[in-house]
A and B are shown apart, each in its own frame.
Chain A
Amino acid sequence: MSQRIANIGEAVVSAARAAAELWMVYISTLAGIWRAITRRKAGRGRPKGELVRQLHAIGNRSLIFIVVTLGFIGMVMTYEACLQLSRVTGDYSQVGPQYIRLVISDFGPTLTAMMLATRVGAGIAAEIGSMKVTEQVDALRMSGVLPIDYLIVPRFIASVVMTLLLSTVACLVMYGAGGLTAHYSFGVNLNLFFDVQLVRMRHVVMMIVKAVSYGAAIPVVAGFCGLRARGSSEGVGWATTAAVIGSSFAVIVLDFAISAAALFVTGGDL
């Protein structure tokens, strides 16, 4: 019995320690951005062109992946919605306006971020994890460079910018794919479908808030997992796994928290 309590206690302590470390990584990243803006310690921050390289790696190279996966899920969603309506009322006039409202305020940014958490999160953790186990991170620290400034800050900025842009693209792709599916499978009039009367400013604001939060969470969680990698190839594998699961879960929890907060702010009229 006491062994069991000891196990639980150990798990709690290590979880609390990990949470504190994660928080430290987040704060250090924000501090690193501040240093980069104010140009203190000039020349010691990130290497030249690193931000552009990260923007390309995180954004451009995810574009096809995002367009394909979100396009298909957009088709599935309208198909399911129309199928269900065809059994009940057969009135498709609300499908399009409701769909775009849901896509903008929730599905677009959240599913994009789930996909980016697997692709970008795993990539960041694998890269930083391999640098950690081959002692390149220690080498950075020895040369007087802060690993967080050098490794995580460019990825953080790139991820925030690119999650927002990719979410916008994803919303458009989902909307287009959904509209074409509704038109060709159920004969829904395209003018009736592409009707944005239900979209309010608050939905767009919610999309921006969500996309920025997810974009900030993914590189911090993944970078934290990468910096914690121990041992050799096995450690890198563990770090990558932890990054995927941690950043996906962070996306779901943030989605829930932001949606619930929005519900309270708007007084039950989401």
Chain B
Amino acid sequence: MILDPVFEALGAAALRIAQEVGGIVVMTAQVVRALVPPRIDRRELVKQLYKMGNRSVPIVVLTAFFAGGLMTLQTGPFVKKLGATALAGWGAGYAVLREIGPILIALMFSGRVGANNTAELATMTVTEQLDGLRALAIDPVRFLIVPRVIAMLVMLVALTVIGDLVALTGASVVGRAMLDIEWSTMFHSFADNLRPYDFLHGVYKSIAFGGAIAVSSCYFGVTVRGGAVGVGRAVNAAVVAAATSIMLLDFFLTYLTG
């Protein structure tokens, strides 16, 4: 048959995706099981919290500032043309808090922290350090993966909260500098049109994004095969999986909760 190679390729892709999704689900189950009873290596947790959270602040702040500024740049001229500058903060703030803020911060977090985490775990795997831990009767999931998953979940939420604030500041600064919208107009526009739920909507999305980034980056880190080439490929697979799951989760969370 002329179509045989097509079907073969489709089947191979489906099998590969099924294998990866299954592996990620198994890893999630292992992490959850390791949390009951919660015995976490506290030193490792604090180290990861610092490394993943505090050291990501500069890149998140920069990203959020530009993202907020961009939203004003895109909505501002239209709002000004209609003479409704009181609505400038509505468009920019709504887009930032609910969509652009959490998504862009999660993508940057996945690039900086998720990819880094995959690289680290993958290097440990190819240099057989995980087998070393097992030989010492230390469970790698409990010792290495659980602290990382918790750190990523906590820190992405914290960074999203900071990022939202910075993005709104960025929106105001760009509005003032490029479109002559007064600070007070922008502030009142935010205060009148945005509700607490808009902010919370972005925050609970970031919990889901953090979970997805954490589990996929750990999974691709520990299942790596073969040397330096394998490490690069694992990092690539991890960021692609994280980006895809961020977009899918975003859709379902928006659709289900409105």
Residues of chain A whose beta carbon lies under 8 Å from any beta carbon of chain B:
65, 68-69, 72-73, 75-77, 79-80, 83-84, 98, 102, 105-106, 114-115, 117-119, 122-123, 125-127, 129-130, 133-134, 232-241, 244-245, 248-249, 252-253, 255-256, 259-260, 263, 268-270
B165 contacts the other chain (Cβ, under 8 Å)?
A: no
Partner of B232, one of A236, A263, A270: A236
What residue in chain B is nearest A73 (Cβ atoms)? B247
Q: Can you give 18 A-B contacts (C-beta < 8 A)?
A: A65-B240, A69-B243, A73-B247, A80-B95, A126-B232, A126-B235, A129-B232, A233-B227, A234-B119, A237-B232, A238-B119, A245-B59, A245-B111, A248-B107, A248-B108, A249-B108, A253-B66, A256-B66
Note all chain B residues with C-beta closer than 8 A to A114: 104, 107
Query: Taking CB as reference atom, which chain A residue is nearest B227?
Result: A233
> How many angstroms between the C-alpha atoms of A57 and B83 in the bound complex?
48
Chain A residues contacting B254 (CB-CB under 8 Å) are 76, 79-80
- Secondary structure class of chain B's binding surface, majority of residues: helix
Given A122-B115, A244-B111, A245-B112, list of 5 further CB < 8 A pairs?
A117-B111, A118-B243, A119-B240, A232-B227, A241-B111
B98 and A244 form a contact (CB under 8 A)? no
What bracket does the count of chain B residues touching chain A fall in? Answer: 35 or more
Closest chain B CB from A267 CB (angstroms): 10
Q: Which residue of B lies closest to A128 (CB)?
A: B232
Q: Given the known A-B contacts A126-B232, A133-B228, A249-B62, are A244 and B239 also in contact in the complex, defined by CB atoms under 8 Å?
A: yes
Contact B107 A102 (CB under 8 A): no
Residue pairs across A and B with CB atoms within 8 Å: the count is: 169
Return the CB mask of B59-77 against A: 1 if under 8 Å, else 0.
Answer: 1001100110110011001
B248 within 8 A of A: yes
Q: Which residues of B contact A248 (CB under 8 A)?
A: 107-108, 111
Contact A127 B232 (CB under 8 A): yes
Q: Determine if B126 is an interface residue (Cβ-Cβ < 8 Å).
A: yes
Query: Which residues of chain B from 206 to 256 have a CB within 8 Å of any chain A CB?
Result: 227-233, 235-236, 239-240, 242-244, 247-248, 250-251, 254-255
Q: Which residues of A contact B228 (CB under 8 A)?
A: 129-130, 133-134, 232-233, 235-236
Nearest CB on B from A192, distance (A): 18
Please, which residues of chain A bring their CB within 8 A of the CB of B232? 122, 125-127, 129-130, 236-237, 239-240
Are B73 and A270 in touch, CB under 8 angstroms? yes
A122: chain B residues at CB < 8 Å are 115, 232, 235-236, 239-240
> Does B94 interact with chain A (Cβ within 8 Å)?
yes
Is B116's CB within 8 Å of the partner chain A?
A: yes
Docked complex Cα distance between A76 and B103 (Å): 12
A120 to B, closest residue via Cβ: B236
Minimal Cβ-Cβ distance residue in A for B56: A245
Name the prevailing secondary structure of the A interface residues.
helix
- 10 smallest CB-CB distances across A and B, nearest first, come from A237-B119, A126-B232, A244-B111, A240-B235, A69-B247, A241-B115, A122-B236, A72-B251, A270-B77, A233-B231
Instruction: Assess the B243–A119 pair: CB atoms within 8 A.
Output: yes
CA distance A199 to B19 in the complex (A): 44
Determine if B258 is an interface residue (Cβ-Cβ < 8 Å).
Answer: yes
B99 proximal to A (CB < 8 A): yes
List the B residue with the shortest CB-CB distance to A235. Answer: B228
B77 A240 Cβ-Cβ under 8 A: no
A102 engages B247 (CB within 8 Å): no
Chain A nearest CB: distance from B17 CB in Å? 11
Assess the A249–B240 pair: CB atoms within 8 A.
no
A233–B240 contact, CB under 8 A?
A: no
Chain B residue, CB-CB nearest to A114: B107
In the complex, chain B residues whose CB is within 8 Å of the CB of A252: 63, 66-67, 70, 104
Instruction: For the complex, give the distance between the alpha carbons of A69 and B69 in Å.
Output: 24
Q: Contacts A72-B251, A270-B74 hold; do A240 and B236 have CB atoms under 8 A apart? A: yes
Name the A residues within 8 Å of B15 (CB-CB): none
Partner of B99, one of A77, A235, A236: A77
B178 partner residues in chain A, CB cutoff 8 A: 260, 263
Closest approach, in angstroms, between the C-beta of A66 and any C-beta of chain B? 10
- Is the CB–CB distance between B81 and A269 below 8 Å? yes
Interface flag for B110 (CB, 8 Å): yes
A83–B107 CA distance with the chains assembled, in angstroms: 25
Residues of A within 8 A of B250 (CB): 72-73, 76
- Please measure, in the bound complex, the distance between the C-alpha atom of A72 and the C-alpha atom of B253, giving whole angstroms: 12
Q: How far is the CB of A85 from chain B (nearest CB, A)?
A: 11
In the complex, which residues of chain A have a beta carbon less than 8 angstroms from the beta carbon of B108? 245, 248-249
A41 smallest CB distance to B (angstroms): 29
B79 to chain A, nearest CB (A): 11
Which residues from B are CB-within-8-Å of A76? 99, 250-251, 254-255
